[in-house]
Amino acid sequence: MELRQLVYFEAVVRCGGFSRAAEQLHVAQPAVSAQIRRLEAELGAPLLERTTRRVALTHAGELFLGRARAVLGQLDGARADLAELAAVRRGRVRIGATLVLGSLDLPGSLAQFRRRYPGVTLALRAGLIAELTRQLSAGELDIVLGPLHPELLDGCHARALVEERYVLVTPPGPRAGPAAVALGDFRDETFVCLPEGSGLYAILTGVAAAAGFTPRIQLETHSPASIRELVAAGLGVALLAESAARAIGPAVQVRQLQPAPRRLPIGMITPAGRPLSPATRAWQHYLEQTYGAGGPAPAPA
Give the pLDDT score at 301.
46
List the domain boundaries for the chain: 3-88, 90-163+264-296, 166-257
Q: Which residues of the chain have pLDDT under 70?
A: 52, 81, 83-89, 174-177, 293-301
Give the pLDDT score at 300.
45
* Rounded-to-integer distance, Cα 178 and Cα 256, Å: 9
Give the pLDDT score at 163.
87
> What CATH number does domain 166-257 carry, 1.10.1670.10, 3.20.20.140, 1.10.8.100, 3.40.190.10?
3.40.190.10
Give the pLDDT score at 80.
73
For the domain 90-163+264-296, what is the CATH code? 3.40.190.10
Q: Which of 142, 159, 165, 163 is nearest to 293 (CA)?
A: 159
90-163+264-296 and 166-257: identical CATH topology: yes
> Per CATH, is 3-88 categorized as 1.10.10.10?
yes
Q: What are phi and psi of 158, to 5 degrees?
A: -135, 145
Give the pLDDT score at 52.
65
Characterise 112 by phi-psi region: left (phi > 0), alpha (psi -120 to 50), beta (else).
alpha
Characterise 215 by phi-psi region: left (phi > 0), alpha (psi -120 to 50), beta (else).
beta
* Alpha carbon distances (Å) from 114 to 46, 111, 202, 286: 53, 5, 35, 11
Q: Which of 90, 21, 93, 89 is nearest to 50 (CA)?
A: 21
Give the pLDDT score at 78.
81
